[in-house]
Amino acid sequence: MSGRPQPVLLRRNSPNGRRSLNASLSVCAITACLFCFASTTPAQQRREREPNSVYADRRAKLAAQVDAPVVLWGFTGREESSQSYVFAQEENFYYLTGHNEEGAGLILLPTGTSNAAWAGPREILFLPPKDPRREKWNGVRLSPSDPGIEARTGFVSVKPFPEMRAAVENLAKLSPALCTILPYEQELGGYPHEKAVADWLQLATPQAKLKDIRAQIAAMRQIKSPGELAFLKRAIDLSLDAHLEAMKMMRPGLYEYAVGAKMVEVHALGGSEAEGYAPIVGAGPNSTALHYDKLSRKIEDGDIVVLDVGAQYSGYSADITRTVPANGKFTARQREIYNIVLGAQNAALAAVKPGAHFACKDKKDGLMNIAYDYINAHGKDHEGKPLGPYFIHGLGHNIGLNVHDPGEYCRPLQPGMVVTIEPGIYIPEENLGVRIEDDILITESGYKLLSERLPRDPDEIEKIMATAAAQRAKEARKGSD
300 and 182 inside one domain = no
pLDDT of residue 39: 38
Is it the case that residue 6 has pLDDT exceeding 50? no
Q: Is the dihedral of CA 398, 400, 403, 404 positive or negative?
A: negative
Q: Is the dihedral of CA 16, 17, 18, 21 positive or negative?
A: positive
The 10 Å Cβ neighbour count of residue 112 is 9
300 and 382 inside one domain = yes
3-state class (DSSP) for residue 300: coil
- pLDDT category, 79, cuts 50, 70, 90? confident
pLDDT of residue 189: 56
DSSP class of 162: G
Query: What is the mean predicted confidence (pLDDT) over 70-98?
Result: 92
Among 164, 195, 221, where does a domain finish? 221
Dist CA 332 CA 304 (whole Å): 12
Dist CA 424 CA 375 (whole Å): 9
Q: Is the dihedral of CA 163, 167, 170, 176 positive or negative?
A: negative
pLDDT of residue 114: 63
- pLDDT category, 118, cuts 50, 70, 90? confident
The answer to whether residue 234 sits within a structural domain is yes
Dist CA 430 CA 439 (whole Å): 29
211 and 237 inside one domain = no
Dist CA 371 CA 172 (whole Å): 51
Helix axes 226-249, 256-269, angle to 10 degrees: 140
- Phi, psi (deg, nearest 5) at residue 355: 100, -25
151 and 270 inside one domain = no
Burial class (CB in 10 A: 0-12, 13-18, 19+), 336: middle
pLDDT of residue 479: 80
**Average pLDDT of the chain to the nearest whole number:** 90
Is 141 in contact with 44 (CB distance < 8 Å)?
yes
In this structure, what CATH number is given to the domain that contains residue 258? 3.90.230.10
268 and 357 inside one domain = yes
Query: Which has the higher per-residue pLDDT, 476 or 37?
Result: 476
Is 176 in contact with 209 (CB distance < 8 Å)?
yes
- What string of DSSP letters covers 301-363? TT-EEEEE--EEETTEE---EEEEETTSS--HHHHHHHHHHHHHHHHHHHT-STT--S--TT-
Among 221, 237, 272, where does a domain finish? 221
Rounded to a whole number of angstroms, the distance between the first and last alpha carbons of the chain is 45
The answer to whether residue 481 sits within a structural domain is no
pLDDT tens digits, 297-323: 999 999 999 999 999 999 999 999 999
The answer to whether residue 247 sits within a structural domain is yes
The answer to whether residue 5 sits within a structural domain is no
The answer to whether residue 344 sits within a structural domain is yes
Helix axes 52-63, 214-222, angle to 10 degrees: 130
Dist CA 477 CA 366 (whole Å): 54
Is it the case that residue 29 has pLDDT exceeding 70? no
Query: What is the mean predicted confidence (pLDDT) over 341-353?
Result: 98
211 and 234 inside one domain = no
In this structure, what CATH number is given to the domain that contains residue 78? 3.40.350.10
298 and 192 inside one domain = no
264 and 308 inside one domain = yes
Is 419 in contact with 413 (CB distance < 8 Å)?
yes
Length of the chain: 481
Query: What is the mean predicted confidence (pLDDT) over 83-109?
Result: 94
Among 221, 237, 253, where does a domain finish? 221
pLDDT of residue 166: 96
Q: 103-117, 290-304, 339-353 — which is least confidently predicted? A: 103-117
The answer to whether residue 2 sits within a structural domain is no
Is it the case that residue 8 has pLDDT exceeding 70? no
pLDDT of residue 18: 35
pLDDT tens digits, 135-149: 999 899 999 999 999
Cross-sheet strand order for the sheet of 177-180:
157-160, 123-127, 105-108, 70-73, 177-180, 209-212
293 and 342 inside one domain = yes
% residues pLDDT > 90 (the chain): 80
Beta bridge mates, 441: 418, 448
Query: What is the mean predicted confidence (pLDDT) over 220-229?
Result: 98
The answer to whether residue 38 sits within a structural domain is no
3-state class (DSSP) for residue 157: strand
- Phi, psi (deg, nearest 5) at residue 420: -100, 155
- Phi, psi (deg, nearest 5) at residue 184: -65, 140
- pLDDT category, 388, cuts 50, 70, 90? very high
Beta bridge mates, 5: none
- pLDDT category, 480, cuts 50, 70, 90? confident
- pLDDT category, 80, cuts 50, 70, 90? confident
- What string of DSSP letters covers 235-267? HHHHHHHHHHHHHHH--TT-BHHHHHHHHHHHH
Helix axes 192-204, 164-174, angle to 10 degrees: 60
Is it the case that residue 33 has pLDDT exceeding 70? no
- What string of DSSP letters covers 46-113? -SEE--HHHHHHHHHHHHTT-SS-EEEE---S-S---TT------HHHHHHH---SSS-EEEE--TT-
3-state class (DSSP) for residue 460: helix
Is it the case that residue 82 has pLDDT exceeding 50? yes
Is it the case that residue 5 has pLDDT exceeding 50? no
3-state class (DSSP) for residue 421: strand
3-state class (DSSP) for residue 456: coil
3-state class (DSSP) for residue 439: strand
Is it the case that residue 120 has pLDDT exceeding 50? yes
Beta bridge mates, 427: 432
3-state class (DSSP) for residue 449: strand
Range of the domain at 193: 51-221
pLDDT of residue 7: 39
pLDDT tens digits, 432-472: 999 999 999 999 999 999 999 999 999 999 999 999 999 99
Which amino acid, residue 450? L
Q: How many domains does the chain have?
A: 2
The answer to whether residue 348 sits within a structural domain is yes
Nearest to 360 by CA among 412, 307, 403: 412
pLDDT tens digits, 150-205: 999 999 999 999 999 999 999 999 899 999 999 876 555 568 899 899 999 999 99
422 and 468 inside one domain = yes
210 and 255 inside one domain = no
279 and 393 inside one domain = yes
pLDDT of residue 209: 96
